[in-house]
Structure 1
Amino acid sequence: MSRAVRPRAARKSAEERAAEIRTGARDVALEGGLWAVTLRSVAARVGVTPALVAHYQPNMEVLVADTFTAVVAAEMAEVAGIVEPYTSPTDRLAALIHTLIETARDDVTTVWLDGWSLGRRSAPLATAVRAQMDAWQHLVLGIVDDGCSTGEFTASDPQTVAWHLLGMVDGLSAQGLVSYRDPAARGRLVTDALEHALGLPSGALTAPAGASATTGCSAARA
């Protein structure tokens, strides 16, 4: 019985092949989560042998950690670009909240959840997750600090407010993966809590014009 012959992979430079493998791993993660990033799945996505993937990425834990960072950092850059044009801290914070709670971001939420879960037994991934959480904290804290400086917000501990916001968004986004409660209701839980924490009137964090105008992180990063 004849055996199917795998087509020989096209010859590419080391830089091109490494970049191709990173892109393949990222695509696998966005479709199936970090759990799906294996030698075989990445090799199949790129169209090479698992041995070739192992040659360029000999440590799968590092590849998974790097993939997590690539996916999450891309989302943060996208969200920062959405938020930046708004002039007032209140509008920037409202745009950030309503962008993050979009259901179109479920692919990245899945990567975050897998990062927390798999990171329990992977030091490289745990380090990557903590670094990205710090980066998000820095982004949110910058908005809260600006609002306190201009007098739009009243908060005695902006660091805690930023952490509070990210904790709520993470938890409610995870609930959204199983369609728990209405997305609008989840959004109101966040805005109501933040309005209270920042001394804002009710409804101040309603989505500003133009917020949530993206079609989702996967499309934006493609």
Structure 2
Amino acid sequence: MARKSAEVRREEILAATVEEIEATGLRTLRVADVAERLGLSASLVIYHFATKEALVAAAFDHAGRNDLDHARNLAAGTGSARERLSEVIGWYMPAGSTRSWKIWIDGWSAGLFDEDLKSTFSALDRDWKTILADLIVEGIGSGEVASRGDEAGAQSADGFAEACATRILAYLDGLAVQLLFNSDSVSQEKLRAWVGEFLTSELD
């Protein structure tokens, strides 16, 4: 049997780490458990990732990049800018992504005390904002989005789009927390309705 390349092995380890985080959480994550999922030795995992902390940061980056790749495909698809923006936001929402929001909330908490993990999340956040902002700018150009600058008209389309993208992501992140911890009062149906209302207030 041919040996797997280092790149393929790394990808397998990262995917298994994400699965383990999703199943048990970061607090109890062990390198040995990740290795066991793949039938490997813990030393081989450490060979590819020098520390548990480096493994965790790389695993979140791996999961985030996969979601971003899908979002970019949606953004580059057919339909109006506003329609594609809605598709990307639908993918980001708690019910849209293939990844459980549990791992992201778990990771955000850990990132408060881990600079590498914090940097990973900051980079992912910037990329999400760029995708949304580019679609908003496109929508402004086509007349689908109303750019509301200040009274002097000094705010550029880019500046408005970046601020709007930041507010949208902050709103979605907050709703994800509410959905996970207050599911009795925040249903998927309510969430979709609230997001629709929020986008109307931001973009019209």
Residue number in structure 1 paired with 2:154:
none
Mapped partners of 2:139, 2:23: distance in 1: 37
Q: Which of 73, 76, 93 is residue 68 of structure 2 equivalent to?
A: 76
SS at match of 1:194: helix
Residue number in structure 2 paired with 1:135:
127
Match of 1:25, as an amino acid?
Answer: T
Match of 2:165, as an amino acid?
Answer: A
Q: Which runs of 5+ in 2 are unaligned?
A: 150-159
Please state if 1:31 is matched with 2:19.
Answer: no
Q: Which of 178, 193, 198 is residue 193 of structure 1 equivalent to?
A: 198
- TM-score, reference length from structure 2: 0.82
Q: Which of 82, 85, 88 is residue 80 of structure 2 equivalent to?
A: 88
Q: Which runs of 5+ in 1 are unaligned?
A: 1-9, 200-222
Q: Contact 2:81–2:144 (CA<8 Å) still a contact in 1?
A: yes
Residue number in structure 2 paired with 1:5:
none
Deviations along 1:123-147, one digit per CA (max 9) or x if unpaired, are: 1101100000000000000111111
Residue number in structure 2 paired with 1:172:
175
Alpha carbons of structure 1 residues 35 and 176: separation in structure 2 relative to 1, 3 Å:
same
Mapped partners of 1:163, 1:186: distance in 2: 18
Which one scores higher on RCO, CA 8 angstroms, separation ≥ 6?
A: 1
1:12-23 equivalence runs, <5 A: 12=3, 15=6, 16-23=8-15
SS at match of 1:154: coil
Shift of 1:94: 1.9
- TM-score, reference length from structure 1: 0.76
Shift of 1:34: 4.2
Aligned-CA RMSD value: 2.3
SS at match of 2:77: coil
Mapped partners of 1:108, 1:80: distance in 2: 20
Residue number in structure 1 paired with 2:46:
54
Shift of 1:78: 1.5
Residue number in structure 2 paired with 1:125:
117
Residue number in structure 2 paired with 1:100:
92
Percent sequence identity is 23
Residue number in structure 2 paired with 1:115:
107
SS at match of 1:121: coil
Work out the number of aligned pairs and report it.
190
Deviations along 1:166-191, one digit per CA (max 9) or x if unpaired, are: 01111112222232412121122122
Residue number in structure 1 paired with 2:189:
184
Match of 2:190, as an amino acid?
Answer: A
